[in-house]
């Protein structure tokens, strides 16, 4: 199933990141783009999410230097754009894969595209990893660990449900019961022409 492959890749990415455990570490994709395009995209997607997860931790430091915080905010903005771009690349992969499928006359559209479901699955992998850390943290109180274990159990159940939903959606698209229609995000805040503040600086 597709979701099993995606979840395994996401777990590998998160484990690899935490070996060095710094946002400044170099990125090397484990999958060749030409030989394994989908795996390449999934790996890159989760790496972006993992780095951004830790950006968000750092910027919440109440003692952070304001100049450093502004620089980090710019990095988060750039990361958000990369994240959106990767979602669109993944959807492009599926659009190409199913381009020859003729939807049935009663086919319906889903509330979100496959890649936006995959986006949530990648974030969920990060939640599970870090909640497991908290549930097993030896310097935390027993009450803390128990509370986090309950949350972890819910996250694990959520991963099963979301994985099933994504696999079902892909099967439905393959069988013509659903059809894909992808809308670009058309983000405005990074565009020199659409953001009035950026436009005024030109």
Q: Rounded to the nearest 5°, which phi and psi values hold at 16? A: -65, -45
- Average predicted confidence (pLDDT) for the chain: 94
What percent of the chain lies above the pLDDT cut of 90? 89
159: nearest Cα among 120, 133, 130, 111: 120
pLDDT for the residue numbered 189: 66
The span from the CA of 122 to the CA of 77, in Å, is 19
Q: What is the pLDDT of residues 171-197, one digit of tens each?
A: 999 999 999 988 776 666 666 776 776
More confident residue, 200 or 136: 136
The span from the CA of 154 to the CA of 39, in Å, is 27
pLDDT for the residue numbered 199: 67
More confident residue, 59 or 181: 59
Q: Which two tokens stand for residue 43?
A: 């790996």
Whole-model pTM? 0.91
Q: What is the pLDDT of residues 94-128, one digit of tens each?
A: 999 999 999 999 999 999 999 999 999 999 999 99
pLDDT for the residue numbered 196: 75
Q: What is the pLDDT of residues 5-23, one digit of tens each?
A: 999 999 999 999 999 999 9
pLDDT for the residue numbered 195: 75
pLDDT for the residue numbered 200: 73
* 3-class SS of residue 109: strand
Does residue 198 have a pLDDT over 70? no
pLDDT for the residue numbered 171: 98
- Per the CB < 8 A criterion, the answer to whether 120 and 158 are in contact is no
DSSP letter string, 121-155: HHHHHHHHHHHHHHHT-TTS-HHHHHHHHHHHHHH
Does residue 201 have a pLDDT over 90? no
> Mean pLDDT, to the nearest integer, of 142-155?
98
Three-class secondary structure assignment of 15-41? HHHHHHCCCCCCCCCCCCCCCCHHHHH
> Mean pLDDT, to the nearest integer, of 54-73?
96
Alpha carbon separation from 190 to 40, 73, 160 (Å, rounded): 26, 13, 35
């Amino acid at each position: 199933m597709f979701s099993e492959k995606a979840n395994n890749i996401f777990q590998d990415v998160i484990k690899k990141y935490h070996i060095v455990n710094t946002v400044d570490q170099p990125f090397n994709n484990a999958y060749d783009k030409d030989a394994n395009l989908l795996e390449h995209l999934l790996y890159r997607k989760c790496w972006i999410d993992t780095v951004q997860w830790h950006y968000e931790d750092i910027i919440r430091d109440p003692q952070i230097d304001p100049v450093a915080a502004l620089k980090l905010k710019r990095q988060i903005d750039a990361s958000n754009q990369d994240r959106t771009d990767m979602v669109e690349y993944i959807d492009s992969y599926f659009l190409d894969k199913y381009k020859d499928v003729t939807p049935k006359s009663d086919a319906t559209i889903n509330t979100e595209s496959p890649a936006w479901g995959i986006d949530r699955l990648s974030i969920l992998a990060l939640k599970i990893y870090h909640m497991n850390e908290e549930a097993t943290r030896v310097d935390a109180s027993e009450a803390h660990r128990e509370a986090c274990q309950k949350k972890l159990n819910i996250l694990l159940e959520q991963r099963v449900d979301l994985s099933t939903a994504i696999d079902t959606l892909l099967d439905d698209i393959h069988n013509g019961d659903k059809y894909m229609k992808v809308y670009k995000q058309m983000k405005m805040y990074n565009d020199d022409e659409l953001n009035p503040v950026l436009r005024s600086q030109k």
